[in-house]
Structure 1
Amino acid sequence: MNSKYNVEKNKDLDQGWAWVIMVAAFVAGIINGLLIYGAGVVHVALLQKFEEDNSYTALIGSIFTSLLSLIGPLASMLINIYSCRMTMIVGGIVMFIGFVSSFFTSHNLNYILITYGIIAGTGLGLCATPPLVIIGYFFHLKRGLALAVVVSGAGFGMFIAGPFLQALINQYGLQGAFLVLGAISSNQIVIGTLMRPSDLENRHKNDLKRKRDMDRMTSKSNNTIFYTLKNLLHFDILSDKSFMFCSLQYLLWSIPFSILLLHLTNYAVLQGSSKENAALLITYMGISAIFGKIITGLSVGHNGLDPVLLNFGFNGISGLLTILFPLYSGTFQGQTIFALLFGFYSGGLTTMINPLCMELIGVSKVSSGIGTMYFISGFGYIIGPPIAG
């Protein structure tokens, strides 16, 4: 742990308001998980409504899910300039605008790409980083427990995403479903108000402000913006070989993961499963992801297992499951087995982003680390689904 911020003496750590933060971040994870893992159901609904080319329709979903990652550096910069609270509130507002706009533009696929894919996706990206970062500011000795609870929220969201989105679309149509999702996403604004800055976060922000002020005085005017961004985004982490190697691993993992996220439901339908059963696969992934996230979060806590080694082990198993999937994907039982196993290990992989950044670059740079890792993996999310067709 970085002693610069003297985390053990921080009065907010592991007690009091920290538990409110944990619950708020958990609920935020449920909402994010619901929206991310429901993208496959929305994809099928778009295909059926517009009967457009599968690749173009997949592009909409891939933009939505990829912006979760590609917006990472922007989210990190806003956190470093303002706070986790402000970033979360702004993200909730943008996401709400995107979904409500999709309600009015649901008759045109090109407009949906903008309102759902880009605007709502941007809001989702802004809401993804703060819950992970703020855990590092409020927890130290109990960080493993807090992280396990928070990341399991996405698993719960994944658990309900398939049946919930399918029921929404069946009941209200795609247009009405967008409006309901807008109402759900607005809860991120309320959650953001609960994320009050800790002493540790305030000291970190003040240190960055002093560095920016010094750069303004010592650097040439035409270099001021560069040095400001350098301090806000911690460009020096790009020279950390271990960190960049882990980021590359997440890029390579995100390509097949994004393909499964959008196409697994439709693939199951093509294999003969009903739409309801196909949507259940996302539920099964969510169930196992909850256990994967909780077990992983507890395993990599204070004095726990090495997150780097655990990360590569989980990645290897996930890859093997995916390679062998065509051999047993012909039945719903085989699809269920894959969904359960892949959900468990992918849940563990997404959980380890926070502890990996803590381990490799320290708490003072964790927001930039998470944002950078998200950004790099985001390219996998955006190219994966269209390539798969």
Structure 2
Amino acid sequence: MEQTKSAGDVSVDGDDDDDDVVDDAGHHDDVGSDTEMVKDSNQLSNAAACFDESGDEKCDADLELELVTPPVAPDGGYGWIIVLGASLAHLIIGGLERSDGVLFLKFINKFNQSAQATAWVASLCSSVRLVLGPFASYFSNRFSCRAAVITGSVISALGVLLSGFTTQLVQLYFTYGVISGIGRSLAYAPCLIITGMYFDKRRGLAVGMATAGVGAGTFLIPPAVEFIFEEYDYLGAFVILSGLCLNLAVCGVLMRPLSLHRRILELKRKNKTRVIFSEGKSYFHTVVASNNTDNAISGSGSSKSIKDENRIPLNVQDHATDAKSLIAKENLTGAVKKTEGISKTETKKKQRFIELTLLKEPRFLIFCFSILLFTASFKAGFTFLPALVKSSGLSESNAALILSIAGVLDTIGRVLVGFLFDFPKVKKFRSLIYNLIVFAVAAVSFVCPLVKSFEGFAILVAVYGFLTGSYISQKTLIIVDILGVEKLSSSFGILICFQGVGSLFGPPLSGLMKDIYGQYDEAFYFCGGLMVLSGLIMLGPTIWQRIHP
């Protein structure tokens, strides 16, 4: 029997809006805009001709379908729930780390050790969290960001709880420094990774909002830590803080994998083959869904499907041809699935724990060393800031309040700069602006020892919080500018590994300065010097890029 396969008999709608398709039962199915479509439905007709009625393949030639790749990132929708979860996780992790200065004073009072030895507790915790960044990235790729955050929550809570039973400072190195640091690492990196996956055009704003939780945590948690230590003593305080760490599991539940998100959206469109009867003609409607791109296969998730109905008019009396076409299209769907499975297997084999080849990119390598020095200075500054305030004659409560002020401006800086960096006119200058922020932070570090009043510290720390929040929140944006979003997961793990090295030696070296000179002024001068060096390292490549784009 003859079957018409001309392009004129095929109706394909290429709009991005959802289509409302009516099947023979009168039901409606929505076909979403984020899927891929076969541009020429004659390819499906040719595919049908390659199979006989039994479903056996008759053609030796390979069938190729031309596909249009959709944007990988949803850029909204459930992405804002991801931002909420990441922001809450940053609130807890960042708030606890910004409380290191308060804890430093508590450890000094309890164990009566040197500033350098005591600073190792907070330094180890932050360093372990950051150095294990590649492992956290690998764990997220191997399982999911959701699994990583929930696992990290349990481990971190265990480490903090055990810290309450310590009787020697060296024991804190293991419980609070190592165990809690491992947990925080698994909960920290995946939050930024999955935020970068869910957003593209508004990535700067999304990352800024996600990391703004650090500012909120800095505002809320340091005064709370000071309060619970006064009310519940050493053990009771750590029991409460371990409960706070368990709340990271709630944040992890919100981290829906992008691949799962797309499968949920396309549930009604996967592997459907329907016969549509309309006005005395028989139409075949096929939707073929399969995973797309290496990113989708590796876990970031994306799907492709034939977006719109591919209607092939047939003689309504020719039901044999109907059956033949149905069998052919079912075989086509199976072939796509089989190819997809092979691709997934190959991708898993190629997956690496850490891609050190990324360090061959000069700009990325220089950025890593620059942020290493920045982190060493920044971590030491927040560790010794409460001690500096107390040494000026103010109370420990005032010292904790100073950190809260920094937290408010930290939040504003993260969101505001993230919003500004998304403007097209600002994007080409954001690497330069990002670099200049480092020199501004260095200037504040040099001025800190000169201030003696609460009002002066409040103003200075507000500026310090705004600048550091702006810098830290946009590091993933700079990575994307250098390497591209497809390398974000692996490169971010390497970057925070460098940060971990800086966090490891920054506070102890600054504490050594205090032990040698007897006051905290030299510690902040040391921090300012490291910050200047960090800016100078990154300034050369930034200017070179501006001259030779």
- TM score, norm. by length of structure 1: 0.89
Q: Distance in 2 between matches of 1:322 and 1:60?
A: 23
Query: 1:42-53 residue pairs with structure 2 within 5 A?
Result: 42-53=103-114
Tell me, what secondary structure is at the counterpart of 1:97? helix
Does structure 1 retain, via aligned residues, the 8 Å contact 2:258–2:299? no
Q: 1: CA distance between counterparts of 2:163 and 2:476?
A: 32
1:346 aligns with 2:459: no
Give, in whole Å, the separation in 2 of the partners of 1:113 and 1:168: 22
Match of 2:298 among 195, 201, 204: 204
Q: How many angstroms does 1:195 deviate by?
A: 0.9
Specify the code of the residue in structure 1 equivalent to 2:158: I
Q: Which amino acid aligns with 1:89?
A: I
Match of residue 126, structure 2, among 65, 76, 85: 65
Partner of 1:250: 371
3-state SS, counterpart of residue 387 of structure 1: helix
Superposed displacement of residue 154, structure 1: 0.8
Matched, 1:377 2:499: yes
* Distance across 2 between alignment mates of 1:354 and 1:76: 14
CA change 1:297–1:209 in 2 (3 A) is: farther
The counterpart of 2:172, out of the listed 102, 112, 119, is 112
Contiguous gaps of at least 5 residues in structure 2: 1-67, 260-292, 301-342, 512-549
SS at match of 2:257: coil
CA deviations on 1:223-281 (whole Å, 9 max, x unpaired) are: xxxxx6xx342222111111111111111111211111211101211121111111111
Equivalent residue number for residue 431 of structure 2: 308
Aligned partner of 2:385 among 264, 267, 280: 264
Comparing both structures, which one devotes a greater share of its residues to strand? Answer: 2
> 1:284: which partner in 2?
405
* 1:186 alignment partner AA: L
Q: Is the 8 A contact 1:102 1:116 kept in 2?
A: yes
Counting helix residues as a fraction of each chain, which structure ranks higher? 1
Q: CA deviation at 1:345?
A: 0.5
The answer to whether residue 143 in structure 2 is matched with residue 21 in structure 1 is no
> What is the alpha-carbon distance in structure 1 between the residues aligned to residue 407 and residue 361 of structure 2?
33
**Deviation per CA, 1:133-163, whole angstroms, max 9, x where unpaired?**
1111111223233222211111100111221
On the 8 A contact 1:145/1:301 being kept in 2, the answer is yes
Equivalent AA in structure 1 for residue 506 of structure 2:
G
Residue 190, structure 1, aligned to residue 250, structure 2: yes
RMSD, matched Cα: 2.0
Structure 1 residue 347: Cα displacement: 0.4
Amino acid at match of 2:218: M
Please name the residue that 2:234 is paired with.
Answer: 174
Asked if 1 retains the 8 angstrom alpha-carbon contact of 2:96 and 2:222, the reply is no
- Greater Cα shift, 166-175 or 328-337: 328-337
Cα distance in 1 for partners of 2:218, 2:127 equals 17
Distance 1:108 1:130, change over 3 A: same
Which structure has more relative contact order (CA 8 Å, sep 6+)? It is 1
Q: CA deviation at 1:363?
A: 1.5
CA drift at 1:106: 3.1
Q: In structure 2, what is the Cα distance between the partners aligned to 1:144 and 1:388?
A: 33
2:96 to 10, 35, 40: 35
Structure of greater Rg = 2
**Cα gap change, 1:87/1:47 in structure 2, threshold over 3 Å: closer, same or farther?**
same
Q: SS where residue 448 of structure 2 aligns?
A: helix
Q: C-alpha separation between the residues in 2 aligned to 1:7 and 1:239?
A: 30
In structure 1, list runs of 5 or more residues that go unmatched. 1-5, 216-227
